[in-house]
Every structure is written in C-alpha cells, then in structure tokens.
Structure 1
Amino acid sequence: MAVTKLADIVGHQEFAKYFNLQMLEQSVLVKSGIAAPDPVIAAKIAEGSGLEGKTLDMPYLDSLDSAGDSEVPVEETGATAEKISSGNDTAVVQFRRKKFGVTDIARIMRAADPMAQIVAQQVPYWNKQNQKIFLAIIKGVFAANARKAGTNTTENDTNGYLNGCDGDMILDLTAETEESAQILSKDSIMLAAQLLGDHKADLTAVAMPSIVETYLAGLDTNASLYRASEGPAALSKYNGRDIIVDDTVPYDPTTKTATIYLFGKGAVAYNPLPCPHPFELERDPDKAVDYIHAWVREIIHLRGWKWQGASAGLAPTNTELEAAGAWKRVWDKKRIPCVMLKAKLG
C-alpha cells in the first residue's frame, strides 16, 4: 500500500509554491501594505529569465514635476516639448539557508514528531528572518540618509542625488536642547510624517518596539490606539495607521531612546525568487539523524534607495545591509514613503 511520507511533500516543488504563497499571506509587511510584489520582477520570474546574479535592475520613470510649469499659448508658436526622465534602481538579492536536524532518539522520547513541527514552522521562522533583513536594510538606508549631503560626490548619479541627504527623512527629537522636547508625545508621529510635506498622507503604517506601543497606549486619551479585533493575525492601529510591533526595532533601555519608522503602501518590493531545491530532506543512518535543508532567495527592497554595497559572500549579511555606504537615494524623498522618528520615553 502506498503512503504519503514527509519526503514526498517537502521535496516536491508544490511545497515550495505553497511556502511562497503562505509567506506572502502571513507576512506582516504584506498585510500592512508596506510590501508588495514588484511587477517587473514578477514578469521575470514568470519568464524564468533575468534572475541571475547578486542584484536585479529596477528601471523607473521620474515624476513630471521636473518638466516645469505649463505654458501660456502664443499664436503661431509651437509648444516646447519636455521629456520624462528615467533611471535605474538596483535591488540586492537576499540569499539565505538553514539546516535543521532531528535524531531518532528525540522522536522516541517525545510524543510529537519534532521534524513535523520544524516543517510546520518554516513560514513563521522565515517571515521573522525577513523582518530582520528588512530592518537591517532600513537601518542602512537611514544611516545613509543621515550623512551630510555633498560629501560623497563620487557617489553622485545622473539624477543628482547624493549618498548623503542631511537627514531629511529623519526627525530626531533626542537632539533637542530642552529635555522635555526629547520626549515622545501623541504629536510626535504626526510631526515625523510632516517630513514628507504634502505627501504625509502616504504614510499608512508605523513600526515600533513593543515597549513603545505600550507607552503610546498609556498616553492615549482619545482612543487613537486600538487593538485589532479580527483575531491574532490582525494589526493594531495608531491614528489610523497599522502598527507593526517588532522588538528588533532599535530601543535603548538605558537612555530610553526609541526608534519608530513610518511607511507607505508599496514602499517595499517583495518577491520570492526560485531556487533549484528550496527544501530537501537528508538521512544520516550512521548517526540516526534526519535533516531538512532550506534555501530562500528573494527580493526585499525599499524602492528609491539603490544598492551600491558589497558582500563578502553570495549575498549580504544583515551587518553588510546596515552599512551607510551600501545605499544611495535615486528618487526624490517625497516619492519614498518612509521616514524615521527618534525620541525618548518619559
């Protein structure tokens, strides 16, 4: 009699498709609207070409704002034609692997099958890994943004944006002279959103450590923060913005300095990329151990910030992603719905 074994499921390409689908459905970044598949990369995946190497090109068209104002017609005089300029964003491919093992003794000594549990937890495990990768990228981007503009002229590109941007996407209240002005208040997030000017409404989600969410709940007198009622998969909101609670978002308990990030819909391109053998089972009979190998290759990219870094291996580590010199802004800041707030908890 034929029976279905774990190896029949894990080693099958359909499991990889199921894994990628569940990654998208369960990702907090996707559910909040921050991350969405890039259509150009999705087309390359469908075609099965153009996915080689450590980086992927993401060409874009600039805003028509650079074309100047409209003209008043002049009789028998032609209009001046303007063009729409273009450029190229570059995303670095995230490539990670992990090996899990279970001994026969572990199976004998436990009622539940540890290997089955490992397989069942692949999606939440890798989603947490993705959040760490994402926050490493954000840390590097804002380190680049904080650089003084004009000091890195060799990194200038055709659009004229420098690696350093004078911190024009950062509101750092901890730099204020008055101690009271350094404290996070109900208005702080609103003031941070103002960094995008008339595009501040584009910021629809906010990421913070759990202690900050608790602190904001204590400040709340007008029900601006409410808990999700749709179940454990739903998100809380603050003044209409989805809250992503993640304790890998920086917080210094000694100084009580907290970091908060604001994002807009579609700010991040997220595309799982194909691997030849994304999941494989291996048996070592001599040691009586079963192994599962997981390989994950994907794009996680903040649009408008071009990767120009280097990696010692096949893909950058989180530390390499955090480097200020690894990123260069190629879009105007108002096109990038992402700002940072630093403040102290009272």
Structure 2
Amino acid sequence: MAVTTIADMVIVPEKFSQYVIDRTTELNTFLKSGIATPDAVVGKLINGSPEGGRFIELPMWDALDGEEDVFGETDVSIGSIATKSSHATLLMRQKAWGSTDLARVLGGADPMGAIANLIADWRNTREQKVYLAILKGLFDGTSGALKEHLNDISAKTGNSGADACISDGATLDTKQLLGDHYGNLGMVFMHSAVYTYLQKNGMITRNPIFDPSQSSVDMERYLGYSIKVDDSMPYISYEECTSSDDGKIEVTAVNIAELQEHCATTLTASTSDAKKYVKAISPVYDTYFVGAGAFIRQEGTPQGFIGTETDRDKIGAKNYLINRWCQIIHPRGFSWNINAAYPTINGEVIKYPNNAMLATPANWSLAVHHKKVNLACLRHKIG
C-alpha cells in the first residue's frame, strides 16, 4: 500500500493547530478533572500580546477592610477599594517531526487525524510535566511560595516508621492547613502505589452513583475526596551515596535522566576521574489535594505567532511538520517573577521558561491569602 507523506497533504495551518488544541483539550486529565479551567480574559490578553511579549498582567481586587459605622446624623465614612496585580508568563513551546517519525501511521484512511492524535497524546504527556513542575516549585519545603500548605511527615520515625506513612490522621492534618477553607479541596491525586496501600488498609470507600447510561457506577473516595490515580505523581526513591555503600548504582550519561527524576539532589554523571553513585531508599511520595479551578489553562495566539508549518528538504527527500503552541498554565493566587534568571541553552538565553524554571521556588510568589489557594500536599511514605 502506498504511504501518504506529509508532502502529499494539504495542511491548513490554522485549522490543523486548532484540531490539535481541541484534541489535546479533550484528552487532558487535568482539564477533565476540573482543576484547570480556561479564562476568556486571559485568552484576550494572550491574543493581544505583541510579537515578543512574554508576560501578562492579572489584575485583582484587594479584600475590603475597615469597620462599619453606626447609623446617625454624621456623614458615613468612605472606604476605598484597592487593586493589585500578579503576573503570568507565556509558555511558548515547539516541536518538529520528520516523515520517518510518522511513517508508520501515514498510510491510514485519515492520516491527518492520525498525526493530530499522536501529537495531542504527546502534548498531554508534556503538559502534565508542566503542572508537576509548578507544584514542585510551590511546595518546596524550604522556600516554596505555598510551603504553608505542605505537610511533610516523611522523616518521622515514631511507631516503627508508621508515623511517616499516609494515614487518615495525616490527611486530616493536611486539609487543616487551609483552615476554614478546607472544603475547597475536592480531589486527591496519588501514585498507584499509594492507592494500593490505601486499598490494602481498607481506607478507600466506594459510593454507588446512579448513571442513566450505565444504571450505576461506583465512585471511589478517600475521606470524601475524589481519587485520581496517576503514576506521574512525583516520588523520591534514590539518594546520593559513596562507593562503599551496599546496593550502589553508578550514575552514567545513560541513566542520569531516569535517576534524577526520582532524586532530591542534583546529580552529575560519572567521569573517568570521579565516580558518582546513588542507592535506592524507601520512596517518599507527594500526594496532592486539589480544588476545582486551581489552575488557569488558556490557549492563545500572540501577534506574529505561527502555530503549524510544513517544510520539505528536497535534497534530503525529507518532510517536516512543525507544531508550536502558546498557552498560559498558571496557579491561581500566585505571581510569576518577571525578573527571573533565564538560562542559556544551546548558546542562547531562552526568552520563555522551561520546566526547570517553573520548578524553581524563587520564581513564584503568593499574591493572595494562602487560604484562597485550593492546593495542599502530603509528603509521606507507605508501609
């Protein structure tokens, strides 16, 4: 069967970009759960950004203060309504694929749909890493802007180590960090190992819910929180060690990326002069308690921005599809540091933040009272 190539297709960039955006939105678990919601005002701000713009301003009203007057013949006192603002950063990302990367799907009846679905799946995986990078920065135990909502029990040693494990008591202590706003937390995102641990200990409840299309379905909950199980939830399972430690693993250029994802300290690969090692430890998990609308997620098209392009290398007989996207993924109640230090990558100072910058605590500041933020984190072990 003849294989359709990118060069054979007539791609209308605007329509293809929208197709990918729509498909990505449809598949996005964070959006479907309701913790990330669009914002039409933010969308207009993105679309109005001049070419080269990097930030948008999010104005907000200060809470009213002062005391009321007692009715009488004197003039009523006049209070003021003050405003403040926070900043959000544009996320501008791009990726190109060659026809050889897509050859296995281009022979189908709907090659454009196949490509769009592949890109949407890939972008969802990448977007989830954006949320997790932001949460990592906010919940840094030393300087995170939301460290007041972090309940870190992972180092506790009482009850033969059981005090370091997730429990009903530890969860209730976590929600109490929001005080009387605890009711804004409705969902819990956890790793499957945490979920299985809770199951083993009979801590998961199943509530039947009537669904006309399926007669009834069971909604699993943990202490009333709707459960979302996802193995991309972060955990730490390695620590640096010396060559004399049992079970040591040498850090190499091949495995450093995999090891770094689950190690709290920054690793470097071994060299001929210096060997670097890590060892496995009892995993420490981050379990997130999240409320609806905790994040703004909004797509947009700044002036001069081209979302989709195709190209062909005639000499090399290669076809390319380039996909670029611009969006805001911003935790409500926070401000991005517009004076953040942007790193040099491939000889160029980047203009928009990468995930490492999003995970940097110093790049975020709290812009509202912490009780108004629908996020909390329990850092723990499992038995």
1:206 is matched with which residue? 188
- Mapped contact 1:225–1:238 kept (Cα < 8 A): no
The reply on whether 1:90 has 2:72 as its aligned counterpart is no
In the alignment, which of 290, 296, 305 is matched to residue 325 of structure 2?
A: 296
In the alignment, which of 74, 77, 83 is matched to residue 77 of structure 1?
A: 74
**Displacement of 1:108:** 8.7
Q: From the superposition, tell whether residues 285 and 164 of structure 1 become closer, same or farther in structure 2 (CA, over 3 Å).
A: closer
Q: Output the amino acid matched with 2:165.
A: I
- Give the TM-score taking structure 2 as reference length: 0.73
Q: How does 1:1-346 map to 2 (within 5 A)?
A: 10-44=11-45, 48-50=47-49, 52=51, 53-64=53-64, 67-71=65-69, 73-103=70-100, 107=103, 117-143=114-140, 146-147=142-143, 167-178=147-158, 179-221=161-203, 223=205, 237-253=221-237, 254-274=281-301, 276-308=305-337, 309-312=340-343, 313-346=350-383
Q: From the superposition, tell whether residues 112 and 39 of structure 1 become closer, same or farther in structure 2 (CA, over 3 Å).
A: closer
| Offset from partner CA, 1:255-303 (integer Å, 9 cap, x none) | 2211011111111111112163212222223333222111011100001
1:159 is matched with which residue? none
**Displacement of 1:10:** 3.8
Q: Output the amino acid matched with 2:342.
A: S
Q: Name which of structure 1's ranges 106-115 and 250-259 shifts more when overlaid on structure 2.
A: 106-115
Mapped partners of 2:129, 2:104: distance in 1: 35
Greater fraction helix: 1
Q: From the superposition, tell whether residues 114 and 18 of structure 1 become closer, same or farther in structure 2 (CA, over 3 Å).
A: closer
**Displacement of 1:225:** 8.3
Q: Name which of structure 1's ranges 261-270 and 178-187 shifts more when overlaid on structure 2.
A: 178-187
1:158 is matched with which residue? none
Mapped partners of 1:236, 1:288: distance in 2: 53
- Mapped contact 1:207–1:246 kept (Cα < 8 A): yes
- Unaligned runs of 5+ residues in structure 1 are 148-162
Mapped partners of 2:219, 2:134: distance in 1: 23
Mapped partners of 1:236, 1:101: distance in 2: 43
Percent same amino acid among aligned pairs? 28
| Offset from partner CA, 1:223-272 (integer Å, 9 cap, x none) | 25899x999xx996544434333333221232221101111111111111
Larger CA Rg, structure 1 vs 2: 2
Q: From the superposition, tell whether residues 51 and 61 of structure 1 become closer, same or farther in structure 2 (CA, over 3 Å).
A: farther
Mapped partners of 2:325, 2:49: distance in 1: 18
Mapped partners of 2:105, 2:179: distance in 1: 61
Mapped partners of 1:51, 1:294: distance in 2: 20
**Displacement of 1:314:** 2.1
Q: From the superposition, tell whether residues 25 and 164 of structure 1 become closer, same or farther in structure 2 (CA, over 3 Å).
A: closer
Mapped partners of 1:176, 1:82: distance in 2: 49
Q: Output the amino acid matched with 1:291.
A: Y
Q: From the superposition, tell whether residues 39 and 111 of structure 1 become closer, same or farther in structure 2 (CA, over 3 Å).
A: closer
Q: Name which of structure 1's ranges 215-224 and 302-311 shifts more when overlaid on structure 2.
A: 215-224
- Mapped contact 2:145–2:364 kept (Cα < 8 A): no
- Mapped contact 1:102–1:114 kept (Cα < 8 A): no
Cα RMSD over matched residues?
3.4
SS at match of 2:342: coil
- Mapped contact 1:146–1:164 kept (Cα < 8 A): no
Mapped partners of 1:267, 1:36: distance in 2: 8
Q: Output the amino acid matched with 1:99.
A: A
Mapped partners of 1:107, 1:113: distance in 2: 13
